[in-house]
Amino acid sequence: MKSSTLKPYFFLLSFFIFFFGKSAFAQIQSDSISKINLLFVGDVMGHDPQIESAEIVKNESYDYEPCFQYVKPIIDKADLAIANLEVTLPGKPPYRGYPQFRSPNELALGLRLAGFDMLVTANNHSNDAGKKGVINTISTIKDYGFYQTGTFKNEEDRGLYYPLIVYKNDFKIAFLNYTYGTNGIKTRPPVIVNYIDEKLIEEDMKLAHQLKPDAIIVITHWGEENKYVENEKQRKLAKKIFNWGADLIVGMHPHVVQPIREMEVLQKDSTIKKTLVTYSLGNFISGQTTPNTEGGFMFEVTLEKDKKTEKVTLGEHHYIPVWRYVYQDSKKKSTYFALPVSAFENGNGKPIGMDDENQNAINAFAKKTRKHLKDSDSSERIITLEELGDIPKLEDKKKVTPKTKSTKKAKVQK
């Protein structure tokens, strides 16, 4: 179009902005684009000290709600919040941590009350409580109103609910979830655990495309534990999954953070699509004591859809470092908290009973995490105490050191 032809359009645009203001123009732009804000967190673990700290009546009742009270304001702002549940929920004692995780059902309840909408369950601990454990984990999660995927009660269950389709904010999103393995514990029929099998993933991706979602998100349990850099297998698989049509890949398992990378994929129509992979979110909450496993990051990403063309693109995305804080009251009762690092570092932990040792620890974790994510294709979102509102304060100023050894959240889903 020639510049002389464009002049009337520029005149009309200038006229509109002059009389109605930039905010009105921005509103028109907003009305033409739908948005959905997604939040992902890493591994939700259940070590022995965590179970002990949540116990109210031995083997009968547990309370995990306090664990997430300092991240709940962030979770609540997301349209969809997703976590990796890396334990089984057998529904009865004995409950235990590493190496075969069996947590009380109340852990899932705590996550639901925190604001999570979805739990993915394909990971190396899926089979820790056997066939009955897989089934009860799925039933419990759905009973609490979560979306769930990655493991299935049987072939019919998988056929009906996979890929998982979620409708939210004018979006239709397909979710897929896979794990590299289950620590050598066999999956006992009829239950199904999604393993990373390229032929299977490619077939599932074809089915996902046939369902015509606005976006396809793949959540993978992969990589090497305690490694800050993704390996070649992760990079190659990510490229294949993107070539098969995924828009976003979210990685779990290494228990430490790994980079966030943007990738460009050539489409069949010769256009370039921007995609994104987070190789590892690290731990969200755990009792691990291996160096650098005491936290990870929450990942926020916005999907934007042009209402006229129906084209969906990745919008803003940010990471929020999160750290595991273990607090002990005057009765020596401990509580595990997930803390947004930027809100409580540099001396801001005193209102919640953080002593100098823990303050130094969160500061050190913040420094290391930012160092390892500095070259990522994403930026940190700083969380302030004001954003968290009236935070519950802890009166006693004592601390506890976790004793465990290393180890290796809406609508009801229809």
366 inside domain? no
**Six-digit token string for 361:** 């620890």
108 Cβ neighbours under 8 A, 6+ residues apart: 85, 89, 119, 140, 141, 144, 146
Is the bond preceding residue 190 a cis peptide, omega within 30 degrees? Answer: yes
Give DSSP secondary structure letters for 244-291.
TT-SEEEEE-SSSEEEEEEEEEE-TTS-EEEEEEEEEEBEEE----ST
Q: What secondary structure letter does DSSP report for 97? A: -
Q: What are phi and psi of 27, to 5 degrees?
A: -65, -40
283 against 9, higher pLDDT: 283
pLDDT of residue 399: 44
Cβ–Cβ < 8 Å for 44, 68: no
Q: Which residue has the higher pLDDT, 6 or 270?
A: 270
Q: Which amino acid is at 204?
A: D
Q: What is the count of structural domains for the chain?
A: 1
Is residue 228 a part of any domain in this protein? yes
Q: What is the DSSP string of 54-83?
A: HEEETTTEE--GGGGTTTHHHHHT-SEEEE
Contact (CB, 8 A) for 275 and 265: yes
Strand partners, 34: 305
How far is 328 from 333, CA to CA, in rounded Å? 5
Residue 348: inside a domain: no
Q: What's the rounded mean pLDDT across residues 209-231?
A: 97
CA–CA separation, 377 and 206 (whole Å):
28
CA–CA distances in Å: residue 346 to residues 67, 136, 365: 21, 43, 12
CB 274 within 8 A of CB 262: yes
pLDDT value of position 220: 98
Task: Give me Rg for the CA atoms of the chain.
Answer: 22
In a domain, 291, yes or no: yes
User: Is-contact 261 376, C-beta < 8 A?
Assistant: yes
CB contact at 8 A, 250 and 40: yes
Structural domain includes residue 122: yes
Are 63 and 328 in contact, with CB atoms under 8 Å apart? no
Q: Which pLDDT band, with edges at 50, 70 and 90, does 218 fall under? A: very high
Q: Is residue 372 part of a domain?
A: no
pLDDT of residue 390: 86
Question: Residue 267 sits in which domain range?
Answer: 33-322
Output the pLDDT for position 28: 44
More confident residue, 272 or 207: 207
pTM, whole model, 2 decimals? 0.89
Residue 395 confidence (pLDDT): 59
| pLDDT tier at 10, thresholds 50, 70, 90 | very low
In a domain, 389, yes or no: no
Task: Please report the pLDDT score of residue 14 as a whole number.
Answer: 54
Contacts of 401 (CB under 8 A, 6+ apart): 289, 326
Q: How far is CA 158 from the centre of its chain?
A: 22
Interval 75-112: pLDDT, tens: 999 999 999 999 999 999 999 999 999 999 999 999 99
Whether 330 and 398 have beta carbons less than 8 Å apart is answered as yes
State the pLDDT at residue 305.
96
CATH number for the domain spanning 180: value is 3.60.21.10
